[in-house]
Structure 1
């Protein structure tokens, strides 16, 4: 990619020199038009050549080449903004090295995690060992968890715990809005900061693009440390714009944590006229897994600020807690990782299923691996059920999702559309025993581009609650009938096919 920039820079310098000469020659207008045309054509050809050599996923390569060939201007601009395949390991090598340095190697926790896996089935042991290896965090047995259903329950618990804070409050969000919910959070954080509690707030610069400067200024004035993640100043020249921090993390005093699908905004409380009722899911945890959630936040915070935080004030010792037979494992995924962590774990969960795979996701755009695994599971007689939104918030993604429905339905999967508002829950349940809940959608962006964090649960009461919530959601949904779905208009199917063609780029 650096070579691309160098070539384009060289071309611009060449054009500039040529135009200066033509000014004195008197035929500037004709020269500018012809030269820009040639430059644009060469740029398209050069970008296509670079994409071909990058050895991307074949579907991505073909999609980009078709897009550039069919719609040169649109394809060129789309590539400049979203398509540049910066070598992720080089781009985030500082963060990757930092993550390795900051991993807390508690030998007791790691040893106990392996020993306690003996009561699991072989396929379950393989999943959690894989998660341990990819995510560098062990499964914990001294963690209690509670599923929080929808915004009112989630934020009442979050605000209640924040108000109890005595040492520190850590927050990390993709979307932070200056609306009623955002104002309520701001007032609480300002009060805690003025009373000596350390408050660190990390928000995604693109996800929180509309956040007012005054909101930030008010927090900073009160002593809150608030920092944007990968700030974007010049989008055309910023090679990190496509890698966003989609995590939602709250850690209070190193003792209680929250993770899940809800951002800070009134729509997540069901106050939006556009979306109406907002169905979502969050998770509250206490105990050992909070250490790992804290570590994930600390890695992101240090990456942006160079501030290290360590010690017992941040990382508590939970060895005094009773060890349970149920397990909780916090896993972070992102473009700084060597492997596609979340995608690989979802894949492992799906292929391990013996009885059922239940999925709730607002954006269902699986890659070939996940799609094949789901179809094979359904064909094998596994009960595959997927709940998706009835109405879109992102139209292209919505129609891309629906393009996958026919082949899944044909394989025997059951697909439901949620009728009571907008479905934004993000969880997967396998055999009513294994579950994952967090920030990752069942889509390519979460698998390949975003920084995500999920909790993986084994035989917990939270798993039982997710099962009951899923069954409740089914009652608020209608099942898609294959014969009826096949009758949708040709224009709709064309739009779905176009959206699916673009899905590797989304």
Structure 2
């Protein structure tokens, strides 16, 4: 009797699995690689695999999160599109001619306006970055807009919150947007005093509502700050003591972050207002000219700020990366904590390496996500066999997300070289067309090389059987990581 009962249950589970697999194939709208990975999960975890798919594998509703522009940016954007189509868009001397198509692609497909005459400073040390940010917040007179994926309830997080409370008491309008999953450890009382003083802190994709809506896999990974519409920050640093190198397990935290002045700050402001309004539909930000003051920058750096996420057309930052790689003639330097590229990115980078372009990839020497690191190692080894040089950063944890090519173009932002950043996360990157800045980024990479070891065929082949097995198994799941 027990055997008959078990046989019946097994048959029912098999039928359910077949139905669910058909559902994924017909309605899932996944690429073949991702679809096969999910089918494998369904095969090994019958029924449970489908609930995991509902929670972690569904696509976002683009209509619900449509990406609109604000009046202050929309006029400039449409003018630039028309000028580019008629070959009238002014491109500065610092912008190489072969990158014109990259500018046009990002302008047309991501509504990324070309901003010129900006001042841009780069920070690679958390202490220096937060000292500069705190100084700018201290000087704020009108508003402070902050957005971070992770905010910790620790010394740095408390220091930032207390400074925001002080500014709110002074009458400065303070808005803080954080991701519900990345900042899930924040207690309910952490921002209570800020709220009492008139500031606001809101969660993007709160965990409870994300679970109820089966959208736990979507995360707002952007990190930016706008102070009085005149100074902006964006890049890889989150808010927590580990970003100051105070986590013993990870050690020194090596990241890349930008400080900006100029029209580029207006573009960051637009991004924040859109994200805040999407996360708080009942309490959005009304358009106000005071958020977009006349820029006072005398800089000379042209750039585009590019957003991507499951709400957009798809892969805007990724397409920018691939276009840069395809235009490379001399070198490509990439830093990323995770290297799990999409097939298109991997193919383009392999072709560059096989074409004698000097491809160098730098990754950390330790994982902060144990499932991801073995897959990263597998992919960098593939690039090594194609002729790329692979560097393992040894001086702490490398969290930088940057690329520099041919002393011509650089990209710094929140997007990792992985499938999650390409397809699931809401990301933000700056594409910078400036020779002097690119040379600075190249020098930073060379400096980091002095704190790195180069991966060789010999050291890679010397891995233990356990390490090799993990890489082989986890790589099968790479589309889901």
Q: TM-score, normalised by structure 2?
A: 0.92
- The one-character-per-residue Cα deviations of 1:146-181 (angstroms, maximum 9, x if unpaired) are 001120111001111001100000011100111000
Distance 1:350 1:45, change over 3 A: same
Residues 134-283 of structure 1: pairs in structure 2 closer than 5 A: 134-233=109-208, 236-283=211-258
Match of 2:56 among 59, 68, 82: 82
| Alignment partners' CA distance in 2, 1:267 and 1:323 | 33
| Alignment partners' CA distance in 2, 1:502 and 1:107 | 40
The structure with the largest helix share of the pair is 1
Give the drift of 1:339: 2.7
Q: Does 1:504 align with 2:473?
A: no
Residues 40-439 of structure 1: pairs in structure 2 closer than 5 A: 40-53=13-26, 54-72=28-46, 75-83=49-57, 85-86=58-59, 88=60, 91-96=61-66, 98-99=68-69, 103-106=73-76, 110=80, 111=83, 114-116=89-91, 120-233=95-208, 236-306=211-281, 307-318=284-295, 322=298, 324=300, 326-439=301-414
SS for the counterpart of 2:303 is strand
Give the drift of 1:34: 8.0
| Alignment partners' CA distance in 1, 2:437 and 2:98 | 21
Give the drift of 1:460: 5.1
- Pick the structure with greater CA Rg: 1
Contact 2:405 2:438 in 1 (8 A): no
Q: TM-score, normalised by structure 1?
A: 0.88
Contact 1:94 1:303 in 2 (8 A): no
Give the drift of 1:345: 0.5
| Alignment partners' CA distance in 2, 1:108 and 1:41 | 54
In structure 2, the gaps of 5 or more residues are none
Report how many residues are paired: 473
Give the drift of 1:101: 7.5
Contact 1:232 1:238 in 2 (8 A): no
| Alignment partners' CA distance in 2, 1:36 and 1:229 | 41
| Alignment partners' CA distance in 2, 1:370 and 1:266 | 33
Distance 1:465 1:280, change over 3 A: same
Q: Please, which moves more after superposition, 100-109 or 374-383?
A: 100-109
Give the drift of 1:305: 2.1
Contact 1:327 1:460 in 2 (8 A): no
Contact 1:109 1:138 in 2 (8 A): no
In structure 1, the gaps of 5 or more residues are 1-26
Contact 2:16 2:47 in 1 (8 A): no
Q: Over aligned residues, Cα RMSD in angstroms?
A: 2.4
| Alignment partners' CA distance in 1, 2:420 and 2:240 | 22
Distance 1:35 1:487, change over 3 A: same
Give the drift of 1:94: 3.3
Give the drift of 1:308: 3.0
Give the drift of 1:134: 2.2
Give the drift of 1:98: 3.5
Distance 1:109 1:322, change over 3 A: farther
Contact 2:76 2:113 in 1 (8 A): no
Corresponding residue for residue 450 of structure 1? 425
- The one-character-per-residue Cα deviations of 1:86-134 (angstroms, maximum 9, x if unpaired) are 3x3xx24133154487853226973599212576433211111111112
